Structure 1
Amino acid sequence: MAMSLEFPKVYEHNIIDINHARLITNKIMNDYEVSDLNITVTGEKLPAHKVILASFSEYFLTMFTCGLRETTEEYADLTQTDADTVKTILKYMYSGILEITEDTAESILKAAYFYQAHDVVYACSSFFVERLSFSNCIGIMITADMYNLTCLENPSLKFVNQHFLNLFNQEEFLSLNIDQLSKILSSDDIAVEVEDQIFTCITTWINFNETERKVHLLKLLKLVKLPLVSKAYLNNQLLEYCQSSRECVTYVKRITESQSRKREILRATPKYPFEKIVIVGDFGHENMHIRQYDPITNSWSKCMELDNRKRGFGMISLNDGGLVVFGGFANDEVDDVLDCIDMKTKAICQCNPLPVKCHGFAVATIGSGHGLEMFVVGGMYKNNFVKVLQKWRNGSNTWFSGPSLKIKRIDHGMAALGKKLYVVGGWTGTHTLQSVEMYDPISEDWTDCCPINEKRRAVGVATVGEYIYAVGGLGEEGQILSTVEKYDPKSDSWSFVKSMPRGRQGVKVVGIFETHMIVLGGYDKSPEVLKYSTETDEWEYLAPIEGAYADIGAVRMI
């Protein structure tokens, strides 16, 4: 008779230490005793492991498997790359931590491209994309072209096209070679008001070095949509400039005489084809509506209606035609719902809800695409201040918590600049704040910055170019402020710029075109919309919002 053995039930207990691998690799990274490779760089020798390098780099995989001398030897000569750059890439290979700064990004990209470390190349490209500005976009575009990086070239070319009118007189733009200029001018997305400006750009570029560049006139002329050029400009400036080239004059006359001047089949040339202002609010209706502002026609249009109504909510743009609307009050209850809205298909889906319900918070984003992160800071729930920072990651639809502000606050403003968050002003429940705190997502620390000149709550805050602006709000004595301040992170200082025509509180502020900001909404339910130019320090009125309401969300959408 067979004996039946019964064992007590054992419950599985899996131990998962997410830091285990990092601890091990950090330990062996600088350990000569267990390394099987010594890397020679300028003035130094670094220990390494062939299997680690080969797993991250096709260059090293080939070196160690294709019969080269390094396959059997314990030395690799990398003296063509500086030691600090090699150390940075090695640290990433072993720990997953890649430290990139504005001073080191280009050298890391160059080395990663050479060693075919694709993850590092992509990370450097993303670093550059997030920092595109007037001062660097041409250089970044040239770098992308040099290394054939479409993930960097497309965004930088788009930025150049979008801000074409602000760039084509700059020396760096005028130093482009013929192929680089042709690539820009051949794009149908180039942002000009009239086609005349394309030819003006061409003549400006040629005149910068006329002796060598005059030969390219015909090639560049073929990139101009001649039927769209104004008749006066065509007969005067354009043909006059081409007089020295019979070939160019013949081409112009042939094209203009043979082609109809039907604009609809040629290049659509809005001044700013990418950036729009999108707002969400009930505007006096039962449900919320989404509206869009077109800077070309200076007009508002209705996009879609939502099936709910909120106030005090947060809103961000995903810059791919998507909006996220969340939090605030719904039916007089604090809401945690996170609605993701596809503006193209009108589809709405709910993402993971806000972990800690709150109102009176501030929201800002860092990054783009799947790497975009939304930060929700401060606020209140059931008379208790929300202390933790809440971070939502777009790519994984997951929430994380971060460190608390140094000073509890609601009704503050917040903006992102240079991959850091800046919280401005606010209210503690007893007094209005003047303090400014900066959050670094890398070190996960809050630090104090230079305080604003005037205490403000219900303040509108936005990034425009390389500065942060604090607009209006309520002062310490409850007075409605018209003053506007500008923060320079390089000097850690605030300065006043031209005030708004009148005081406003609770406004939404959106930075656009790197040179302007739009101010709208507010507690007084004003339909007024203002535009401020950082170049002229002047305000002007735009088309008002029909049926304006205090509680609106406003974002820039590309």
Structure 2
Amino acid sequence: GSSLGPPPVGHARNTSPGSDAVAAMATPGCEEAVLASDCHARQMLAQMNKLRLRTDFCDVSLNVGGQVFRVHRLVLAASSPYFSALFSGGMREADKDEVQIIGVDPAVFESLLEFVYTGAINITVDNVQELMVAADMLHLNEVVSICGEFLKSHMDSSNCVGIFQFSEQIGCLEMLEFTENYIYVHFLEVCVTDEFRSLSKDQLVRLLRSEELRIEDEYQVFTAAMDWVLQDVAKRKKHVVEVLEAVRFPLLSPQRLFKYIEGITDFSLRVALQTLLKEYTEVSKSPKENKMYSQLQPAKMRPRRKARKYLYAIGDLITLSLRF
């Protein structure tokens, strides 16, 4: 008989249950199989990290805030389009032995470098935003996603506005949408926080206009808007008309509003509010005389989609409250 040589390429010598090799199901008589190792990539990454820590085969230094990191161009280029472009032939840094990275804290960069070489990163409530900003700048998109999930899991009514502002600042649209929806759902808890009063005028108006506000009645939108104005009357009273434009006044009791306005201590603001409320009251009595108001009236008269609706049964003693 003929002797058997070394196994063909693709055959595994170790087929014990403890082996990391996973073979495709082979048909009887098949002399070839495609195998894959579950741990090969992890072992390669771990070995490259050991080489980095010993500075073996490192071919470039990164100067980050005065701290120098010895790294492998290939590893960084493979993990990020930013570094791929930085080390490409068309960039002036391509052939430099030391490259400066501006705008990143050394400690933050070290954490990101650990992720590049290990796939793991330590995230805390104190460093998550810095990590997310730096990861976004360096195009480490997986870290951005991980940080986003961390923020979502730690979100509550006291910090969601800050996360909303942060998401808008860095242009993270997915996080922005998530935090916006969170604010709508928890509006009554959020609108009484200091963070809510720190919103910019445009951010506030954007939120107050939404159909998704989970409220019990429109008066809560009015008081939330006024709390924002009263936080800094001197600077914010000039925005009162624009801010209150988002409030659906036809749903509110004029008597209740006038009573609220009487408690305003700032004279010019009180006069402005009284004038504004009189205008709303007058046009609501004769909307046909105000063409613009007639066009806006259907939207202003309709409760918000997620508001609590009250259904009163005339002649009955029972009041039904339905949330949609």
TM bucket by the smaller chain?
A: 0.7 to 0.9
Q: Which residue of structure 1 lines up, in the alignment, with residue 209 of structure 2?
A: 186
Q: 1:270 to 1:13 in 2, by over 3 A?
A: closer
Task: Indicate the residue corresponding to 1:230 in structure 2.
Answer: 253
TM-superposed deviation, 1:271: 5.2
- Residue matched to 1:14: 35
Q: What corresponds to 1:122 in structure 2?
A: 145
- 2:92 aligned with 1:76: no
| Superposition pairs of residues 330-345 of structure 1, within 5 angstroms | none
Q: Distance in 2 between matches of 1:181 and 1:108?
A: 27
Residues 129 and 254 (structure 1), Cα distance of their counterparts in 2 relative to 1, 3 Å cut: farther
**Could you say which residue in structure 2 is the equivalent of 1:152?**
175
TM-score computed with the length of structure 1 as normaliser: 0.44
Q: 2:75 aligns with which of 31, 46, 52?
A: 52
Deviation at 1:254, TM superposition (A): 6.1
The root-mean-square deviation of aligned C-alpha atoms, in Å, is: 3.3
Distance 1:255 1:31 in 2: 78
Alpha-carbon shift at residue 11 of structure 1 (Å): 5.1
Do residues 106 (structure 1) and 129 (structure 2) align?
yes
Which of 238, 248, 264 is the equivalent residue of 2:276? 248
CA distance in 1, matches of 2:303, 2:71: 58
Pick closer, same or farther for the CA change 1:37–1:256 going to 2, 3 Å: farther
Residue correspondences, number: 273
Q: Distance in 2 between matches of 1:50 and 1:254?
A: 71
Q: CA deviation at 1:52?
A: 2.4
Q: 1:66 to 1:151 in 2, by over 3 A?
A: farther
Q: How does 1:396-415 map to 2 (within 5 A)?
A: none
Q: Which amino acid aligns with 1:14?
A: L
Partner of 1:220: 243
Q: 1:254 to 1:232 in 2, by over 3 A?
A: closer
Counterpart of 2:307 (choices 266, 270, 279) is 270
Task: Give the distance between the partners of 1:109 and 1:135, measured in 2 at CA.
Answer: 20
5+ residue gaps, structure 2 = 6-28, 288-293, 310-319
- Superposed CA deviations along residues 289-321 of structure 1, whole A, max 9, x for unmatched, are xxxxxx9649xxxxxxxxxxxxxxxxxxxxxxx
Q: Comparing 77-86 with 200-209, which one deviates more in the overlay?
A: 77-86
Query: What code does the residue aligned with 1:267 have?
Result: R
> In the aligned structure 2, how far is the partner of 1:106 from the partner of 1:13?
44
Counterpart of 1:393 in structure 2 is none
State how far apart, in whole Å, the 2-side matches of 1:254 and 1:58 are: 61
Work out the CA distance in 2 between the residues paired with 1:220 and 1:191.
19
Shift of 1:48: 1.4
Q: Does 1:93 align with 2:121?
A: no
Alignment partner, residue 301 of structure 1: none
Q: Which structure is higher in helix share?
A: 2
The 1-side partners of 2:282 and 2:81 are apart by 53
Q: 1:16 is matched by which residue type in structure 2? A: S
Which has the higher mean CA deviation after the structures are superposed, 229-238 or 182-191?
229-238
Q: What is residue 15 of structure 2 aligned with on the other side?
A: none
Local SS of the residue matching 1:39: strand
Mapped partners of 2:121, 2:321: distance in 1: 42
- Partner Cα separation in structure 2 for residue 211 and residue 247 of structure 1: 19
Q: Is the 8 A contact 2:62 2:99 kept in 1?
A: yes
Q: What letter corresponds to residue 87 of structure 2 in structure 1?
A: F
- CA distance 1:265–1:194, change in 2 (3 Å): closer
CA distance in 2, matches of 1:99, 1:191: 36
Question: Within 2, Cα distance between the matches of 1:185 and 1:121?
Answer: 29
The amino acid across from 1:243 in the alignment is V
1:269–1:17 CA distance, 2 compared to 1 (3 A): closer
- 5+ residue gaps, structure 1: 273-294, 299-558
**TM-score, structure 2 normalization:** 0.73
- C-alpha distance in structure 2 between counterparts of 1:199 and 1:264, whole Å: 15
**Structure possessing the higher relative contact order (Cα contacts under 8 Å, 6 or more residues apart):** 2
Note the C-alpha offset of 1:209: 0.5
Give the whole-Å Cα distance in 2 for the aligned partners of 1:255 and 1:137: 38
Q: Which of the two has greater strand per residue?
A: 1
